[in-house]
Structures are given as structure tokens and as C-alpha cells.
Amino acid sequence: MSDFIKKNLKHNLFVNLFDGSFFGFGIGISSFSTVIPLFVSTLTDSAILIGLIPAIHNMGWQLPQLFTAQRISRLPRFKPYVMLMTIQERAPFLGLAVIALLSPKLGITTSLILTFIILIWQGMGAGMTANAWQNMISRIIPSDNLATFFGLQSAGANLLASGGAVIAGYLLERVNAPNSYAICFFITFVLMAVSYTFLSFSREPERLEIPEVKSHADFWHDVAAIMRHDISFRWFVISRNAFMIGMMSQAFYIIYAIKELHLDFESAGIMTGVLFVTQVVANPVLGWISDKWSSTQVFKGGAVSICLASLIAWKATSSGWFFLVIILSAIASTAFWTIGMAKSLEFGKDEEKPTYVGLSNTLIAPSTILAPLLGGWLADISSYTITFLVSAIFAVLSVFLMQIFVKDKKNPLVII
């Protein structure tokens, strides 16, 4: 650890934990899975358009990361780029507030078009920021504490997001639409500004060595070389895709419990609370275990968790079993996102990390879209239980691939 990083570590931990927590607070008030879809549902009954909202958000975050890698790999400091690009994922909430407020005058078609333009802008802004932000964090937080940091930040974000969801529910219940949605989006914009302020206080050292400028052809040649020669990383990406498909059943657990096992809505609400609480606890705990033991083993443990969740759901005879299903599902999500992000930063040399991070995220974007579509298709042509069974099979495949092909620096008990 350099003297600069050591001197500024407490400061950087503090400001970045608050950045993530207030960011999560804002997302909780304008959730991509509840509040924004509810707003769009006031404009259209199209399930396809409503279902596109979380997909646009997830794809926007993942897809651009590889395409920003070449540029950010040559930056002496990542922070200026992060501060510029993250405006593109925060400012759109002010745009959503304006659209919601003016929607009665704009009309349904215009409001819908503008809403989806704003959502695409927000998603792409997040994706344009993500790679540089992850690399900035890896430069100011020691590698031995990286997973713990991501876990604590995610815990803070989830904790405040749960409070934000309660606030959003209160506003939607007591304020007439579309003003209620406009208020939610505006509060989110304010919280994003607070988050941005904390992020701006980050202290990042300047890089001593800047990689040489390469042509686009050389960059893509290096990308191909990484996928061709770094066998461990290649199989990590494949395993991560299998894990993502293994999580396709998450969207259907509570729906199945309500439709088939007669779960009441009050219990469904309690399960949602259990999901949040589990993620708040699991993020720092799994992050700490990952740093002290092995990110590879924790990642595999997450895949085992979603396998068990799907198998329990497959065989459940009463809705009570779904409390355990939700807990295991929350652990799996934490392992996939938080620990997967930390694991991605273990590959490659410092100058190669932007490319590795880009590949790790961009190459799972197709699975992010396909997984819920595959799960829904299987449920439609057969049953939810078949979706659960196929999820478990892909989760086992993920564990198998990680165990056999992915190197573990701390516990090198793998066969290559």
C-alpha cells in the first residue's frame, strides 16, 4: 500500500460509503422495479414496455463497460472522468420529474417516448461511468479490503433503499398521480446530488505510468488475446453467465407462492422486507469472508445458494418454505454482484484492469436479458417448477466451471 493510499484510506472509505448509501437511498425512492414501472403503467397497459424498464437499466450498466475500457485505460486519474460521466446517470431523474409533472399536458404518447429516452440516457450514463468508477475504487481501496468495501457500501445502499421504498409508498398513497411520481423523482435527484458531493471528495493518486496509446485495432486485438490466452478469466465469464441464468427463477418465487401455494399479500410484503434485511447483512459479511478467505469460494457459495433456493421452491409444499428461499436468493444476489465485482478486479495487470472489468460486465449483458425471458418462457410452456429446476441445473454448472477452470489466488485447489 502506497503512503498516499494509507494516508487517505479512512477519508476515502468514509466519503465513498456515504456516496453509495445516498445513491441507494435515491434508487429506493424511484425504484426501477416498482416506482418507475408504476409511473409507466399510468401511461400504458403494455406489459412489454413495463418489463423493459429494469432490462434497460441493467443492460445500460453492463453493455458499455468494454467500449469505455480503451479510453479510461490511458487516464492519469479516473476521478475526473467518473465525475463527468456520473452526471449522466443522476441528472435524468430531474428529467423524469419534469415529464411526470407535465404528463397531463404532454399527452400519453409524448410522455412515454420522453420517459424511455430518459431511461436509456440514465442506463447508458451508468454504464459509461461503471468501469472507470470500479477502477478508481481499486486504486484508492487496498485489494485486501476491496470486497469488504463493496459489501459495506452495498449494505448501506440497501438499508437506505428500504427506507426510501417506505417513503415512496407513503407519497404514492397520499399524493395524487402524477404529482406523487414527480415528487419521488425530484427527491431522488436531490439525493443523487448529495451522493455526488460525497463522491467528489474522493482522493485518488495520479498514476505513475500511463499505457501507450493504441489504435482501435490493437485494442480489440488485445481483447481477443485476453479471451484466448487467459483461460481462467474466460471460464470465469462463462461461469458468471451460467450463474446469471441460474438466478432467472428469482423473478417468479413470490408469484409462484401466491398463485400456487396461496401466500397472502401481507406475508409477501414481509418476504420483501426479509430480502432487504438479508442483503444488508450479507453484503459486508460475504465481503469480509471474501477478503479474508477467497472471493472464488464465496462466489461458488452464492451459486450453491441459488441452487438450493430453486430446489426448495421446486419441492415446496407450503408457502412457509419461501422465507428460506428468499434468504438464499438474497445471498446469491450478493455473491453474484458484490463478490463478482471484486473478483473481476483480481484479473490482469493494473493497465489491463479496465479491459478485464469491461469484458467481465459486458459479456454477461446478454444473459441478463435472456435469463428472465427464458424463465418466463419455460413457465408458460410448462410450469414454474420447471423454471426452478432449470435454474438449479445452471447454478450447479456455474459451480462446476468455477471449481475446475478458474484459478483461486488464495486457495489454488483447482484443476486446469
Between 237 and 377, the higher pLDDT residue = 237
User: Taking residues 401-408, what's their average pLDDT?
Assistant: 91
Q: What is the mean pLDDT of the chain?
A: 91
> φ and ψ at 114, to 5 degrees?
-65, -40
The answer to whether the CB of 240 falls within 8 A of the CB of 360 is: yes
Burial class (CB in 10 A: 0-12, 13-18, 19+), 259: exposed
What are the cell numbers at 232?
A: 481462467
What are the cell numbers at 215?
A: 489504435
What residues contact residue 335 under an 8 Å CB cut-off, 6+ apart?
Answer: 286, 298, 299, 301, 302, 303, 305
The 8-class DSSP code of residue 133 comes to: H
Residue 325: which H helix or E strand, with range?
Answer: helix 321-334
pLDDT digits (tens, 9 = 90+) for 110-159: 999 999 999 999 999 999 999 999 999 999 999 889 999 999 999 999 99
pLDDT digits (tens, 9 = 90+) for 165-220: 889 888 988 999 899 999 999 999 999 999 999 999 999 998 877 777 778 899 99
Global pTM reads: 0.87
pLDDT digits (tens, 9 = 90+) for 326-341: 999 999 999 999 999 9
If we measure between CA atoms, which residue out of 160, 170, 222, 155 comes closest to residue 192? 160
Specify the pLDDT at position 321. Answer: 95
Confidence of residue 415 (pLDDT cuts 50, 70, 90): very low
Specify the pLDDT at position 97. Answer: 97
Specify the pLDDT at position 416. Answer: 38
Specify the pLDDT at position 410. Answer: 62
User: Among the listed ranges 107-111, 245-249, 278-282, 367-371, which one has the minimum average pLDDT value?
Assistant: 367-371
Render the burial of 211-245: b for 16+ CB within 10 Å, e for the rest. eeeeeeeebeebbeebeeebebbbbbbbbbbbbbb
The 8-class DSSP code of residue 335 comes to: I
Q: Strand, coil or helix: what is 31?
A: coil
What residues contact residue 360 under an 8 Å CB cut-off, 6+ apart?
Answer: 233, 236, 237, 240, 340, 344, 347
If we measure between CA atoms, which residue out of 202, 274, 239, 276 comes closest to residue 396? 239
The answer to whether the CB of 139 falls within 8 A of the CB of 204 is: yes
What residues contact residue 23 under an 8 Å CB cut-off, 6+ apart?
Answer: 157, 191, 192, 195
> φ and ψ at 414, to 5 degrees?
-125, 160
Domains and CATH numbers, the chain: 1-208 (1.20.1250.20), 214-416 (1.20.1250.20)
Specify the pLDDT at position 56. Answer: 86
**Cα gap 387→376, rounded to integer Å:** 8
Residue with cell 468514509: 14
The answer to whether the CB of 262 falls within 8 A of the CB of 319 is: yes
Cα→Cα distances 376→41, 51, 71, 303, Å: 20, 12, 38, 21
Other C-beta atoms closer than 10 Å to the C-beta of 173 total 8
If we measure between CA atoms, which residue out of 384, 397, 52, 353 comes closest to residue 241? 397
Half-sphere exposure of 346 (CA within 13 A, CB side): 22
Residue 1 has pLDDT above 70, yes or no: no
User: Taking residues 93-108, what's their average pLDDT?
Assistant: 96
pLDDT digits (tens, 9 = 90+) for 338-372: 999 999 999 998 889 999 999 999 999 889 888 88
**Cα gap 147→314, rounded to integer Å:** 32
**Cα gap 218→272, rounded to integer Å:** 48
Residue 162 has pLDDT above 80, yes or no: yes
User: Among the listed ranges 157-171, 251-265, 384-398, which one has the minimum average pLDDT value?
Assistant: 251-265
Half-sphere exposure of 162 (CA within 13 A, CB side): 17
